[in-house]
Amino acid sequence: MSNKDLEAVRTKLDALYHDACVATDAYNAAEEQSKKQSAEIVELAKKIVKGQEKLDELKDRAGAAARSQYRTGGIPDEAQLLLSDNPQAFLDGTGRVLQGQRATKGLIAELTRAQQDLKQYTADASAQWQQLEKNRQAKATAKKKITTQIAAAEKLESQLEKREKERLAKLEQQAALKAQTAWLDSGALKGASGKATSAGKAAVAYATAQLGKAYEWGAEGPSTYDCSGLTSQAWASAGDPIPRTSQEQWKQLPHVPVKDMRPGDLIIYFDDASHVAMYIGDGAIIHAPRPGRTVTVAGAGSMPILGVVRPDA
């Protein structure tokens, strides 16, 4: 196989693994949402139980109040006053009855609110269940795409002979080195001297300790990682939890100029923010590259940089 043919294979593999990476981000996002919705459903279920208990209690109290009024309310107040042997005692009693009536009205209002709350809790729980099902479907779709793309890449690689695989590996290294050299020559790091914070040092130490561990899509450690699983766990270990996916890390974390980045910052790659790595200084990163690879050190400019985000800004 000629170098031109091998270069075409390399380009095809990059595309397949990139698509798998995009699908992995979608899977991880759906997984995070499913966890959140499951927790909310549990809390809503607790509110529904408490709401039903409160409603039952209020109904008992309202029933007791109604029975009390029925026993004393059969004759009009004017007639009861005329027939009373003790008008003053009747008037005193009437005052208590009016208080009781006001209390009953308050009880009915509270009962109505409890019924409305219970109805809303039930509606919210139903909506969360529907969204949970949508996210389960999204996860299934993403999983199918991930496995399909990885299987296609593995099949393509399996068709290569041993020497061709070795040449392909060299082509990949040369392409990464060429991109890194061009990035450094552009002056991207000129004047850069950012120092890691204590949290940044802890995050880098965590990432460094994972070197050599296998990439696995959807994994957050401790034995395997995908790209954002590594960065999110590294910063969680440093005491600064961040979003799970590379796309959400790009959306939610503060952006900083490349020239101002410091160890611990995260570099987001590709226009769709589908890959993330941790900057460790001196133009280098630690990242979980793709299926079939392990957590490794690479040049920060070896892939197209979208931007830099700072978890501990």
**6 against 182, higher pLDDT:** 182
Pairing of β 284-287 and β 305-309? unpaired
Under a CB-based contact definition with an 8 Å cutoff, are residues 265 and 276 in contact? Answer: no
pLDDT of residue 121: 84
Query: pLDDT category, 82, cuts 50, 70, 90?
Result: very low
pLDDT of residue 81: 45
Which amino acid is located at 15 in the chain? A
Query: pLDDT category, 265, cuts 50, 70, 90?
Result: very high
Query: pLDDT category, 83, cuts 50, 70, 90?
Result: very low
Name beta bridge partners: 309.
Answer: 255, 266
Q: E-assigned strands of the chain? A: 214-215, 224-225, 255-256, 266-269, 275-281, 284-287, 296-299, 305-309
Which amino acid is located at 40 in the chain? E
Enzyme catalytic residues? 227, 275, 287
Under a CB-based contact definition with an 8 Å cutoff, are residues 260 and 194 in contact? Answer: yes
Q: Kindly report, residue by residue over 167-217, the tens digit of the pLDDT.
A: 998 989 999 999 999 999 998 888 777 889 999 999 999 999 999 999 999
* Separation of alpha carbons 313 and 306, rounded Å: 19
Name beta bridge partners: 266.
Answer: 278, 309
* Separation of alpha carbons 279 and 107, rounded Å: 62
Structure tokens given for 230? 């590594």
pLDDT of residue 247: 94
pLDDT of residue 87: 56
Instruction: Look at residue 257 and tell me whether its pLDDT is greater than 80.
Output: yes
Structure tokens given for 100? 């009781």
Query: 97-106, 208-217, 301-310: which has the minimum mean pLDDT?
Result: 97-106
Contacts of 155 (CB under 8 A, 6+ apart): none
Q: Report residue 66 CA to chain centroid gap.
A: 51
Q: What is the mean pLDDT of residues 215-230?
A: 96
Instruction: Look at residue 152 and tell me whether its pLDDT is greater than 50.
Output: yes
Instruction: Look at residue 67 and tell me whether its pLDDT is greater than 70.
Output: no
Terminal alpha carbon distance of the chain? 50
